[in-house]
Structure 1
Amino acid sequence: MSAPALSGVLEAAIYVDDLDATEAFYGGLLGLERIVRVDGRHVFFRCGTTVVLAFVAEATAHPPAPDALPVPTHGAKGPGHICFAAPDKGMDALAAHLTAAGVDIESDFRWPHGPRSLYVRDPAGNSVEFADPALWSLDV
């Protein structure tokens, strides 16, 4: 029996240490819509049809209370990675926006098959990539 086809990634999690700085970066600078925030634990953002979950790792290591939803413990240690789809035609404007906001561009290059990627770090040190969706086209 084969697995059913999956239709995409519904959510992606990053782990942070400062929710105010996280909200300023993802909500303020990148313009993602905040869905919900629980101080000391998480802030969630909408990005197209996907949700970015930003958790304080230590807070997710505790089992849920008996009367809470049965979400298992999880978390990560150290910086992670997230990549946002950013069409090539808007990449120069995005790079200028990030630079004007004082965000250092760690890397800006074209992959051997043509798509461009920009890499920066968020306030928690996570690697944040902005890539032309052609990066993972079916021709790769």
Structure 2
Amino acid sequence: MGNATIESVLETALYADDLDAAEAFYGGILGLQKISRGGNRHVFYRCGPGVLLIFNGQETIKPHEPGALPVPPHGTKGQGHVCFRIDNDEIEAMAERLKAAGVDIEADFHWPNGGRSIYFRDPAGNSLECAEPRIWGL
């Protein structure tokens, strides 16, 4: 048996009941490139080398339709968290963009190692963070 090494996170998911609001937020305010939208079930975004999946949890708990991709039912309840990687010189610009859109910055934190994070919420209440990679020594 060979060794298997996980290289990175390919995709991550958050859940939102209102995909229209999620689409306006992630595509409009954050400026992520939309890959696709599947009705009221999901909207997917390119995020650097990975993908951000926004699912309507009420739809993803349903079994897949005959002939659809055989993805098992899944979902969660409550708010999640994602941290977006951003360069230090871009954090202030993102904070200003969020403020201009009426999004509250819940915390603006300078970590002991010198890295900075800003925390805010999407329309579904998910906790989002933009941070320099050096907060994790990257």
Given the two structures, how large is their TM-score scaled by the length of structure 1? Answer: 0.94
Paired residues for 1:94-109 under 5 Å: 94-109=94-109
Is residue 69 from structure 1 mapped to residue 69 from structure 2 by the alignment?
yes
Q: 2:48 maps to which residue? A: 48
Aligned with 1:97: secondary structure? Answer: helix
Aligned position for 1:8? 8
Structure 2 counterpart of 1:57: 57
Q: Secondary structure at the match of 2:93?
A: helix
2:93 paired with 1:93: yes
Task: Provide the secondary structure at the position in 1 that maps to 2:104.
Answer: coil
Give the SS at the match of 2:91: helix
Q: Tell me which residue corresponds to 2:131.
A: 131
1:3 CA drift (Å): 4.4
Map of 2:39 onto structure 1 = 39
Runs of 4+ in 1 over 2 A off after TM superposition: none
Sequence identity of aligned pairs in percent? 57
Aligned to 2:18: 18
Which position in structure 1 is the counterpart of 2:80?
Answer: 80
Aligned-partner Cα distance in 2 for 1:93–1:33? 18
| Cα root mean square deviation, aligned | 1.2
Which AA in structure 2 matches 1:22?
Answer: A
Structure 1: gaps of 5 or more residues: none
Q: Deviations over 1:72-104 (max 9, x none)?
A: 111010000011001111111111111111000
Report how many aligned residue pairs link the two structures. Answer: 138
Separation in 1, partners of 2:81, 2:100 = 23
